[in-house]
Amino acid sequence: MFSSAIAVANADGKVDVIANPDGDRAIPSILSYVGVDEYHGAQAKAQLIRNPTNTIINFRDYIGKKYDEVDISASKLGAPAIQTEDGNIAYKIIREENKTEIVTVGEAVRRHLIQLKLAAEDYLGNDISEAVITVPTDFNEHQRTELVKFAGEAGLKVLQLVNEPSAALLAHLSATENKLLEDKTYVVADFGGIRSDAAVISVRGGILTELATAHEPHLGGDNLDDSLVEYFAKEFEKKFKVDPRKTARSLAKLKAESINVKRTLSNVQTSTCSIESLAEGFDFHTSINRLRYELTARSVFGKMTSFVEQVIKKAGLDPLDIDEVVLVGGTSHSPKLASNVSFVFPESTVVVAPTLDPKALDPSELICRGAALQASLIESFDEEEIKESLQPIVVNTQHLKKPIGIKDAEGNFVPILVAETAYPIKKSVNVTNGTNENVIIELYEGKRTIKETIIEPTPVSDAEDLDDDSDEEPEIQREVVYETGDLLAKLSLKDLKPNSELEVIVNITQNGVLHLSGRELKPGSVAVKGEITSA
Amino acid sequence: MSIVLPAATGSAATFEAVSKYSAPTRRPIEPVGRYFLAHATRTLRGHTWSEYEKLEAEKNVTVVEENGDEDIGDEEQDEDLLAHDPREWKTADLYAVLGLSHLRWKATDDQIKRAHRKQVLKHHPDKKSASGGLEQDGFFKIIQKAMETMSDVTKRQQYDSVDTNADVVPPAPKSEYDFIEAWGPVFASEGRFSKKQPVPSLGDMNSTKEEVDAFYSFFGKFDSWKTFEFKDEDVPDDTSNRDHKRYIERKNVAARKKLKQEDNKRLIALVERAYSEDPRIKLFKDAAKAEKAKKKWDKEAGSRKAAEEEAAKKAAAEEAAKKAAEENANKKADSKKAKEAAKNAKKKAKRTIRAAAKEAEYFGDAAKSGDIDADVEYLVEKLDDVQLQTVSSKVAGGDATVTKSAFNEIAAELAGVGKLQAAHLKYFSA
């Protein structure tokens, strides 16, 4: 199930995630109608048990889509989606005196945004007129313009739409000082309620570039809930010989409790499950430990892990190339997911999840924190400037294909410019000439190879462990190594004193001309310069 | 450990391009984060790296400068203030208490907060008692009261309203002073109470009339937010005597009203005094007067010109008449003279002619002198002015023959036109 979060950045750059009047910071994107009353958030979610046909869920992905284009099974637990005359999607709601009301997706979005706006206004105490909203990367142009339109109808001017993984990564990187300036490659994996998204993003000089994205529409927390539902239903059937999955109400109750159990098990080892009058008047009480749950949901966790591997493959990279994995979305609270994902990557790769790093930000809030940060950044710009900045001429930029560096005395490749860096680039390194009077700076393109070293297992002295096969296998350590590839240019510096400080500057301009310059770091020295172009 | 470069093999060229680097891939970058905004600004404005860094560096400088007032609240309080009775805290200068007497109403909330923190550190009773003194928390209480007043917007406004220490005193009447220098700060300080902001400034000696008028009309219609709650008598807190409480409240309201009225009156008087003493107003009045005179002058220009022309004409006519009269007189005199001259010439010519015969010794015919004289007399009678002159000039030589022939000629000429009868001539022949 989709949820929404709202956040605001203070003057000092700190971000506050705003809780709605119910105290929820992850606000379920659900609207429910009982008579004249409209319920929103957790209150509406509670209505899913008693009043599912008047409860609108999972409408976000329908924005700007026609009825024929979407899989309407996402709304099967709530109010059924129907087709309007012009092919759009709407929900049929019964309000007071049995009057039916057709709520289109746009109307639902508008009402939802109004509720969020009210919650934020309550919290801040002043009016809100502008916002930054995040969207999944697979939202097309039409869906984006539609969302902006609906937001406008709800009284919110959208300053910018930001892709969810970028927003999440921005929030993650901004949490640590200067982390944004480290040249690293990230995987942002967002495991939501009913869908999963992942993106490979390279960060170079503070600029984010998406290298690949992947989407899995039927994978998410719901699948974990379903496996728990299945498990409990079997338990219940065994005890009372009644199938709780047959009636919608029992199923809804079981599902609601399963969600609670899942959440509890993310924090503690065992959880109880107690539902009064689950089916045919039988109460259901049982307890489950984390191991049991993880076994039950093993296939789902497996799918999630392979989903992460898939996106890396899509980017044409190896798990070795990934420096950090940022887990986003409510499902990322699951300890098993985090540990499974970390097994895919080498030990050098950091997996950011609350179960592995207690200091990590709440994964369900990362995205909206990023949006709030972006909002605080662009707040000082006028609308015109923001619009101009989002033009393709600014956004579409040349990216360096291969790393470029120099060769040191031992013949090793020393990277200066990292691959996938957006133009223009300017980097400098400080080197020395050692004892040589004249030195040569040879500029090379890097050639990526994966070095495999086999580490012989340390012989185990304990004889009893010998029957465990896995310990016998030699461990293979893989490592990405760059070697010098094509020689691009040579530059020599002469008549140097031993151990003088030298500076090599590589600069690629917007139009792709590479300038190489080398000079001695002392006052009055003349730099030797030259330029080459790209193929 | 730094990177060591390989030794050069002694190639002559210092730079040599060997090959091209791989073609780049075009990808959209994610429009998030401040480095993207920097990238966008660079791309849109066409800044190079160094230009951009320069601009950024300039920005950083201003940020540093803004954090400049570190010495806020370092002012020392004087002895009287430190010994002030905390029960009478309302009469203390609360800005001086916080060490902000140089800023007063201009102090920002942040400055107040920082100054308060400093004062607390300095005057905290714990600190005082540690250094020996007892019962030293009087001033600390005043500090807390001052902070309580300053941190509340309404209370601070109420205090600022009665903070006469911040007022600038106008110059003493009937003293010598520079108007702008003396009154500028007065109105700048009064202006802080205006509900309407910004307040026009007094300007300088070169201000235009419109500016000065706008200034005085602004202060003439001054709408002040001054309130006098701070001077209220404390309303008793107990519920025992409600009537007394209401009485005090009413009295306070009346007092406030009265003070407000007085203040308004004071301001009006102040503005009126400034207006009356404003040298610019006098300048404008003089200018207006001069302007008026000039206008009048201009307006009357037509008639004045006509009168001038009339006078000129008259003078000219007089002149002409005078000239004419003079000329007439001259002419008269001249003609008289000419006539006389002509007469004289005639007389002379006649005389010459009459004497001519005698001078020519009567042409040898002295015997006939009587006839000759008679003839000459006859001829002279008949001759006109011109002939007289011709003849006289001819005969003047005294040569007998010439004279005789001249007489004969003229006689013949006169006889020719019938003026003289040849028969009457006795000697000359016509």
Searching chain A, which residue's CA lies closest to the CA of residue B11? A492
pLDDT tens figures, B125-147: 887 776 666 667 788 888 888 99
pLDDT of residue B67: 47
Query: Contact, A317 vs A211, CB < 8 A?
Result: yes
DSSP assignment string, A106-150:
HHHHHHHHHHHHHHHHHHHSS---EEEEEE-TT--HHHHHHHHHH
**Separation of alpha carbons B69 and B361, rounded Å:** 143
For residue A235, the number of C-alpha atoms closer than 13 Å in the C-beta half-sphere is 20
Q: What are phi and psi of A363, to 5 degrees?
A: -60, -25
B4–A489 CB contact, under 8 Å: no
Question: Domain check: are B184 and B87 in the same one?
Answer: no
The interface residues of chain A toward chain B in range 467-496, judged by CB-CB distance below 8 A, are: 486-494
CA distance to partner chain A, nearest, from residue B70 (Å): 20
Burial of B325 (0-12, 13-18, 19+ CB in 10 A): exposed
Long-range own/partner contacts, residues B261-266 (CB < 8 A, 24 or more apart): B263/B224, B263/B226, B263/B228, B264/B224
Question: Domain check: are B366 and B277 in the same one?
Answer: no
What is the total count of domains within chain B? Answer: 4
**Separation of alpha carbons A78 and A68, rounded Å:** 19
Looking at the partner chain, which of B22, B24, B35 has a beta carbon nearest the beta carbon of A445? B22
B34 within some domain? no
Question: Domain check: are B324 and B394 in the same one?
Answer: no
B108 within some domain? yes
The interface residues of chain A toward chain B in range 405-424, judged by CB-CB distance below 8 A, are: 406-409, 411, 414, 420, 422-424
Question: Domain check: are B159 and B78 in the same one?
Answer: yes
The Cα-based distances of A78 to A36, A64, A73, B7 in angstroms read 19, 20, 10, 74
The Cα-based distances of A53 to A100, A249, A274, B247 in angstroms read 12, 11, 25, 66
- What is the identity of the amino acid at A390? L
Question: Domain check: are B281 and B320 in the same one?
Answer: no
Residue A495 predicted with pLDDT over 90: no
Cis peptide, bond prior to residue B198, ω within 30 of zero? yes
Domain boundary among B165, B193, B218: B165
- What is the identity of the amino acid at B339? K
pTM of the shown model: 0.61
B28 within some domain? no
B422 within some domain? yes
Retrieve residue B244's tokens.
């007394």
Q: Does the ipTM exceed 0.85?
A: no
Question: Domain check: are B239 and B316 in the same one?
Answer: no
**Separation of alpha carbons A400 and A421, rounded Å:** 5
Domain ranges, residue B314: 300-334
**Separation of alpha carbons B419 and B430, rounded Å:** 11
Query: Contact, B24 vs A512, CB < 8 A?
Result: yes
Residue A120 predicted with pLDDT over 80: yes
Query: Contact, B377 vs B416, CB < 8 A?
Result: no
pLDDT of residue A145: 92
Sort strands A501-508 and A514-520 into parallel, antiparallel or unpaired. antiparallel
Which of B3, B35, B41, B63 has the highest number of chain A CBs within 10 A, making it the mutation to test binding with A? Answer: B3
Which chain B residues touch A397 with a CB distance below 8 Å? 26-29, 39
For position B76, which CATH number holds?
A: 1.10.287.110
Question: Which residues in chain B show pLDDT less than 50?
Answer: 62-68
Retrieve residue A447's tokens.
């050639």
Question: Domain check: are B187 and B118 in the same one?
Answer: no
Question: Domain check: are B156 and B172 in the same one?
Answer: no
Query: Contact, A407 vs B6, CB < 8 A?
Result: yes
CA distance to partner chain A, nearest, from residue B20 (Å): 5
B148 within some domain? yes
pLDDT tens figures, A201-223: 999 888 899 999 999 988 999 99
pLDDT of residue B359: 74
Can you tell me the mean pLDDT for A174-196?
A: 89
Task: Please state, as a whole number, how many other Cβ atoms lie within 10 Å of the Cβ of residue A506.
Answer: 23
Which of A207, A386, A484, A513 has the highest number of chain B CBs within 10 A, making it the mutation to test binding with B? Answer: A207
Dihedral (Cα; A241, A247, A251, A253), 10-degree rounding:
-100
Burial of B105 (0-12, 13-18, 19+ CB in 10 A): middle
pLDDT tens figures, B316-333: 999 999 999 999 998 888
Which has more pLDDT, B166 or A333? Answer: A333
Looking at the partner chain, which of A378, A489, A510 has a beta carbon nearest the beta carbon of B16? A489
Question: Domain check: are B311 and B370 in the same one?
Answer: no
pLDDT tens figures, A431-451: 888 888 888 888 888 888 888
Which chain A residues touch B28 with a CB distance below 8 Å? 209-210, 392, 395-397
B199 within some domain? yes
CA B240 to chain centre: 72
Beta strands in A183-237 (DSSP E): 184-191, 196-204, 207-216
Retrieve residue A46's tokens.
């509670």
The interface residues of chain A toward chain B in range 290-309, judged by CB-CB distance below 8 A, are: none
Looking at the partner chain, which of A377, A407, A429 has a beta carbon nearest the beta carbon of B37? A377
- What is the identity of the amino acid at B190? E
Question: Domain check: are B161 and B195 in the same one?
Answer: no
**Separation of alpha carbons B28 and B30, rounded Å:** 7
B132 within some domain? yes
B29 within some domain? no
Domain boundary among B165, B200, B223: B165
Burial of B381 (0-12, 13-18, 19+ CB in 10 A): exposed
Is A498 in the B-facing interface, judged by CB distances under 8 Å? no
**Separation of alpha carbons A255 and A233, rounded Å:** 10
Which chain A residues touch B10 with a CB distance below 8 Å? 438
pLDDT of residue A296: 93
pLDDT-above-90 percentage for chain A = 39
Please name which of B224, B211, B307 lies closest in space to residue B261, comparing C-alpha atoms.
Answer: B224
Question: Domain check: are B148 and B181 in the same one?
Answer: no
Question: Domain check: are B196 and B149 in the same one?
Answer: no
**Separation of alpha carbons A205 and B390, rounded Å:** 135
Looking at the partner chain, which of B30, B43, B49 has a beta carbon nearest the beta carbon of A166? B30
Domain boundary among B285, B308, B326: B285
Residue A511 predicted with pLDDT over 60: yes
